[in-house]
Amino acid sequence: MRRRIPAAHWGLLTALLIALFVALGLQSISQGVGQARTATTGTARVERVHGGGTVLFNADGHLDSRDLPDRTVALTFDDGPDPRWTAKVLDVLAREHVPATFFVVGARASQHPELVRRELREGHELGNHTWSHSDLSGAAAWRRNLELSLGQLGLAGSAHVSSALLRPPYSSTPAALDSHQVHVLKQETDAGYVIVLADRDTEDWQRPGVPRILAGGTPVDDKGHIVLMHDAGGNRAQTVAALPALIERYRAAGFRFTTVSEGLGLHGGVNPSVGTVRRLQGEFLGQAVRFSSALVTLISWVIFPLGLLSVLRTLLVVVLARRHVRVSAQRVEGPPWSPPVSVLVPAYNEAVGIEQALRSLAASDHPNLEIVVIDDGSTDGTGDIVESLGLPNVRLVRQENGGKAAALRRGTAEASHDILVMLDGDTVFETTTVRLLVQPLKDPKIGAVSGNTKVGNRRGLLGRWQHLEYVSGFNLDRRLLDLLRCITTVPGACGAFRREAVVAAGGLSSDTLAEDTDITMGILRAGYEVVHEERARAWTEAPSSSNDLWKQRYRWGYGTLQCMWKHRHAVVEKGPGRRLGLVGLPYMVFFQVILPLAAPVIDVFAIHGLLSGSAGTVALIWLAFAGVQVLTAGYALRLDRESLTPLWSLPLQQLFYRQLIYLVVIQSVVSVLAGAQLPWHKLHRSGDVAVPV
């Protein structure tokens, strides 16, 4: 019998094959113009340029240079092609019957091949300006090789030619070169390139005005000139306006217009046709670039509204958080309310942390407290530990394993009182937690209260990240949703309930894997309010490994989707519980499903920017995003009276933690759509929960 390969293994195999294909492709295209290069290591020896000209080339192993002949001028244009400005430059050159040399950026050539072909067709020549306009002098040897190789592929795909001419980005005149730059250029000439610098720099990229562009490009003597201009990289209206007058000045001075290769007398041409393989490689790359560009444009239209809504949500959360503090305080004004309370502790294999949890409850300052521990078929002696403690007011109920919801149903039936507090077996309460948690329930309209769940094992990096997520994510969200009167989840680690509200909601159900969200939604639909009490703090043990974190969030995501589907009819319901359908469910759909599903697109967008010459923009956006996160998290920590020390780890969260969380959401959505049945995952417990004094 043949065994089927699991889908996850097929995915891994596919990823490996794609990686192999990309590696082989990069190895193939990194051969440049057909010449192999060896990267140098160690300290580079100082190179010198002989000749003092503007065009650098290899002469018997030395870096030599040459000028154009007297009274000849070569107009050169960098950074193109650009659909708006290159065409206008070409129109002026055609009207004036002037040839030029265009140093094209490979990525832009791949996007606009028709302009590159027009340049060649109208008698101009092409040079390599790298693939993404990268600074070669500051790049490693492998990066320089790749930039030039891909630049050649851009020419091969767009115009079916290669080029022996090279102008490094951010270069101008030979006088501006330092020893390191000269050494780098020597390596490029050793590979067969002719380096074309300039002696007349118009600095038109700064848009200084037509008079200054003309002053920078006008001839100063009878020597040959190479004029540096730009046909892309920004608004080039001043360049187009200055070009006819500049041409007229050179003609008036008796200069002859030429291309770089013609002026130097380079025989055989600098733009030879490429072979079929290189042409196909270039065309394939061009198709990929154009497709990715169209995709990025489409994605940006999706990202913009998502990003705008996320920013608005962040502002709303921050602005309203302080108001929630006042509202929460007003809610519990008056004399303390001390109703009898039954605390329900469902426990399945909680031997590691159950003693600490129960001792924290026994130390509670709330009078008339009953603690019911439901041992849900534990196999590690949890029930025996509970009995051996001999704590007052603690009652143990044993049952066969039926899941957390079943344990809570049993606990609800066994409870003696009408105010129920529920917590997990790994959670530690502060002395005041129960008393503060039940205060809002003196208002009969309130059916449930969410406590402030905090991470008790936060010493490691993963713990710190979860701590920040709980404080600046979950709890800030609950403050906002409290003011909007649609809290959708009272966390299982810390919640108080009115028994009649639980009954009205249909009781704790095993229909979903998120029984806390399910019962909260049910209480809202039954017409009760749900509020958040941030002063009632509970310390829980968060997953201490990425594997356990994945299991926990997978269950949360899967269970949340089940709850949203189960309570979908709230969208059309009328009555006191309609806020769930009007506000709560849409909020969950957008921020817990759509936004995480769109998160990988943002990362792809960033990678595209890094590879297409927009690294600075990507870095700026990332820093701005990280800055907003740090400020928001810092504000949330201050509200919770927490130390700001963990903030240092927040930027690192964007490099691993965020990706793990959105991948879990994606897996949850796929599992739900595929109809997969997800079992309850029991997480590893270490008992490493520390409650600050």
Residue among 163, 177, 171, 158 nearest 197 (CA):
171
Name, of 45-59, 205-219, 587-601, the range with top average pLDDT. Answer: 205-219
Whether residue 78 lies in the annotated active site? yes
pLDDT category of residue 561 using cuts at 50, 70 and 90:
very high
**Residue 639 vs residue 689, higher pLDDT:** 639
pLDDT for 33 equals 36
Measured CA distances, 432 to 150, 201, 533, 628 (Å): 66, 74, 12, 34
Instruction: Rounding to the nearest 10 degrees, give the CA dihedral for residues 669, 672, 677, 683.
Output: 30
pLDDT score of 3 more than 70: no
> Which residues are within 8 A (CB) of 514 and not within 5 positions of it... i.e. 6 or more apart?
489, 555, 556, 558, 559, 560, 562, 563
pLDDT score of 18 more than 90: no
CATH level 3 topology of 45-274: TIM Barrel (3.20.20)
pLDDT category of residue 693 using cuts at 50, 70 and 90:
low
Mode of pairing for the β-strands spanning 369-376 and 341-347: parallel
Measured CA distances, 685 to 160, 383, 542, 550 (Å): 63, 16, 9, 15
pLDDT category of residue 282 using cuts at 50, 70 and 90:
very high
Whether residue 375 lies in the annotated active site? no
**Radius of gyration (C-alpha) of the chain in whole angstroms:** 35
CATH superfamily of 303-674: Spore Coat Polysaccharide Biosynthesis Protein SpsA; Chain A (3.90.550.10)
Catalytic pick from 230, 366, 467, 567?
A: 230
pLDDT for 39 equals 31
Lowest model confidence (mean pLDDT) among 184-188, 215-219, 465-469, 676-680: 676-680
pLDDT score of 687 more than 90: no
**Residue 376 vs residue 313, higher pLDDT:** 376
Q: From start to end of 232-274, where are the E strands? A: 256-257
**pLDDT digits over 45-87, tens only?**
445 566 668 998 888 888 888 999 999 999 999 999 999 999 9
CB distance 661 to 593 below 8 Å: no
Lowest model confidence (mean pLDDT) among 8-22, 42-56, 370-384: 8-22
Q: Give me the percent of the chain exceeding a pLDDT of 70.
A: 90
Catalytic pick from 78, 204, 231, 424?
A: 78
Q: Give me the percent of the chain exceeding a pLDDT of 90.
A: 65
SS3 state of residue 353 = coil
* Structure tokens, 528: 């009760």
Cα distance between the two ends of the chain: 62
Mean pLDDT value of segment 122-148: 92
Q: Where in the chain is the domain with CATH 3.20.20.370?
A: 45-274
Mean pLDDT value of segment 573-580: 86
Q: Where in the chain is the domain with CATH 3.90.550.10?
A: 303-674
pLDDT score of 691 more than 80: no
pLDDT category of residue 356 using cuts at 50, 70 and 90:
very high
**Residue 492 vs residue 58, higher pLDDT:** 492
Lowest model confidence (mean pLDDT) among 306-315, 518-527, 570-579, 585-594: 306-315
pLDDT category of residue 245 using cuts at 50, 70 and 90:
very high
Beta-bridged to residue 498, according to DSSP, are 419
Kindly report the number of other CB atoms within 10 A of residue 253's CB atom. Answer: 15
What CA–CA distance (Å, rounded) separates 632 from 471? 10
pLDDT for 532 equals 96
- Residue 261's Cβ-side half-sphere holds a number of Cα atoms within 13 Å equal to 22
pLDDT for 173 equals 79
> If you average pLDDT over every residue of the chain, what do you get?
87
Task: Count, in order, helices (H) and strands (E) of the chain.
Answer: 25, 18
**Residue 434 vs residue 63, higher pLDDT:** 434
pLDDT for 45 equals 43
pLDDT score of 94 more than 90: yes
